[in-house]
């Protein structure tokens, strides 16, 4: 079995009097260790798919299986525990806590685990070293560039060493140089650490950093995308 399996997944929601279906009978397999890219315009269902993979939302129909775990079988505390251990999420907007330093932002997820202060410090140092920001550990988000903020967000996503990283338009708010640096970082995590990465983007140039790209449009997967 592949590391990620979506089996005839449908997800809908109501917006006023209209029924919106961002995912319509989607089936997809992603192998462990892939850097998988989902291309598509705004509103095509890309973020909805990421939310299902991360256990943030549930499908209306079909099955979502990650690492052998059917996510529909989990709820509440067990789902939160699974997500903390298995998924690192990189958002477009960074979502760093403005009053915390880079070090403290990266450390936050580790408070969910039974680790000592020394164990947390070791993991944070390794994560910041991986993204090249050890020298910015004591800086607040407002003291960092946009690219540095996103690299802190990547460090926070990997600090618990989850097998799956999901990235939602991680370069959407960055200048070209910063975007390339973040994409190279994700590529390095894939190559050197064996992370399975699922990234959504509307940018074919960003998609070129992945190992496979598929296009999603109007809730349906299309043919494998040219990159």
Query: Per the confidence metrics, is the pTM higher than 0.85?
Result: yes
The whole-angstrom distance between residue 163's C-alpha and the CA centroid of its chain comes to 11
What confidence score (pLDDT) does residue 41 get?
79
Residue 44 to residues 67, 216, 217: CA-CA distances in angstroms?
A: 26, 6, 5
Q: What is the DSSP letter of 149?
A: H
The count of domains in the chain is: 1
Nearest to 166 by CA among 24, 34, 21: 34
| pLDDT in single tens digits along all 227 residues of the chain | 799 999 999 999 888 888 888 899 999 999 999 999 999 877 778 889 999 999 999 999 999 999 999 998 888 889 999 999 999 999 878 789 999 999 999 999 999 899 999 999 999 999 999 999 999 999 999 999 999 999 999 999 999 999 999 999 888 878 888 888 889 889 988 998 889 999 999 888 889 999 999 998 888 887 665 45
Between the two ends of the chain, the Cα-to-Cα distance in Å is: 27
CATH number for the domain that contains residue 77: 3.40.50.300
Query: In which element (H, E) is residue 7 found?
Result: strand 4-15
What confidence score (pLDDT) does residue 220 get?
86
What CA–CA distance (Å, rounded) separates 140 from 132? 16
What CA–CA distance (Å, rounded) separates 47 from 90? 12
Domain containing residue 212: 4-224
């Amino acid at each position: 079995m592949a590391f990620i399996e979506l089996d005839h997944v449908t997800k809908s929601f109501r917006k006023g009097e209209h029924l919106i279906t961002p995912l319509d009978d989607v089936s997809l397999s992603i192998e462990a260790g892939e850097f998988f890219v989902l291309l598509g315009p705004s509103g095509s269902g890309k973020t909805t798919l990421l939310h299902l993979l991360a256990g943030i939302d549930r499908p209306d129909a079909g099955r979502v299986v990650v690492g052998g775990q059917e996510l529909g079988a989990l709820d509440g505390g067990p789902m939160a525990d699974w997500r903390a251990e298995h998924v690192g999420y990189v958002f477009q907007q960074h979502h760093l806590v403005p009053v915390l330093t880079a070090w403290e932002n990266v450390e936050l997820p580790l408070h969910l685990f039974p680790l000592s202060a020394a164990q947390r410090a070791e993991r944070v140092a390794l994560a910041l070293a991986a993204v090249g920001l050890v020298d910015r550990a004591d800086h607040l988000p407002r003291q960092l560039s946009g690219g540095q903020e996103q690299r802190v967000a990547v460090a926070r996503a990997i600090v618990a060493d989850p097998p799956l990283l999901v990235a939602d338009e991680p370069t959407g708010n960055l200048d070209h140089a910063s975007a390339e640096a973040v994409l190279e970082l994700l590529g390095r995590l894939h190559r050197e650490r064996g992370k399975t990465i699922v990234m959504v983007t509307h940018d074919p140039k960003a998609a070129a950093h992945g190992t496979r790209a598929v296009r999603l449009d109007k809730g349906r997967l299309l043919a494998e995308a040219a990159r």
